[in-house]
A and B are shown apart, each in its own frame.
Chain A
Amino acid sequence: DIVMTQSPSSLAVSAGETVTINCKSSQSLLSSGNQKNYLAWYQQKPGQSPKLLIYLASTRESGVPDRFIGSGSGTDFTLTITSVQAEDLADYYCQQHYNYPLTFGSGTKLEIK
């Protein structure tokens, strides 16, 4: 199984600041065939189901604000949230969709000061 390691486990920022969440996979998620990275990011607000934010490492899901930016390649990926808003209070998870079984990171809890 591909192991996904996320950091930090939690962070607290003030509204308007920029946040960076890291995700590292135990093997490359880059397909040699199409040069795409099979990495997704999800947001889970308190008491809610997860919501897809980003797939293929950097493609924003329809309706997701452009302050959510996915980047990275191979084994190292980043979710950047620029100008954090109070509504971004949530847990964030990365997930590899390169091969079976699909596996998730341990999550990052974002708190707003």
Chain B
Amino acid sequence: ELQLVESGGGLVQPGGSLKLSCVTSGFTFRDYWMSWVRQAPGKTMEWIGDIKPDGSNTNYAPSMKNGFTISRDNAKSILFLQMSNVRSDYTATYYCVRDYGGYLDAWGQGASVTVSS
């Protein structure tokens, strides 16, 4: 069974950092592009960026470039999202997503991040 399980969410102060992890199983992780998508409460989805199967290249939405870093560990089938210098508008549910040619065919359950002092 295909699974993507995010962890590492929680409460973080403005200006702080947080690293999310996504443990995957049920598919050959190293063969797929992977994305992170966030959804603020009551809002639509925002694509943050993606990472090539071998980890050699990443793409980010222009508005996300300065606050996020995506990486992966293919040996452990884990995707990461490093968030830095967070702001209140980073409050959202963050989804780990399998990216198949730009459409997103498998989603994790999401990790909730709240930025507040």
Contact = CB atoms under 8 A, between A and B. Distances in A.
A98 B46 contact: no
A1 B35 CA distance: 17
B47 A101 contact: yes
A28 interface: no
Contacts of A103: 47
A49 B44 contact: no
A95 B45 contact: yes
A104 interface: yes
A50 B103 contact: no
Interface size class of B (residues with CB under 8 A): 20 to 34
Nearest to B35: A102
Interface stretch (B17-25, B71-79, B105-113): B105-113
Chain B interface mostly helix, strand, loop or mixed?
strand
A100 B59 CA distance: 8
Interface size class of A (residues with CB under 8 A): 20 to 34
A102 B105 contact: no
Contact of A104 (B45, B106, B108): B45
Contacts of A93: 44-45
Contact of A50 (B45, B60, B62): B45
A69 interface: no
Given A52-B106, A104-B44, 5 more contacts: A49-B95, A50-B95, A50-B107, A97-B103, A101-B60
Interface of A: 1, 38, 40, 42, 49-52, 55-56, 61, 93, 95, 97-98, 100-107
**10 nearest CB pairs, A to B:** A97-B102, A101-B61, A102-B47, A55-B103, A49-B107, A40-B103, A104-B45, A97-B103, A52-B105, A107-B44
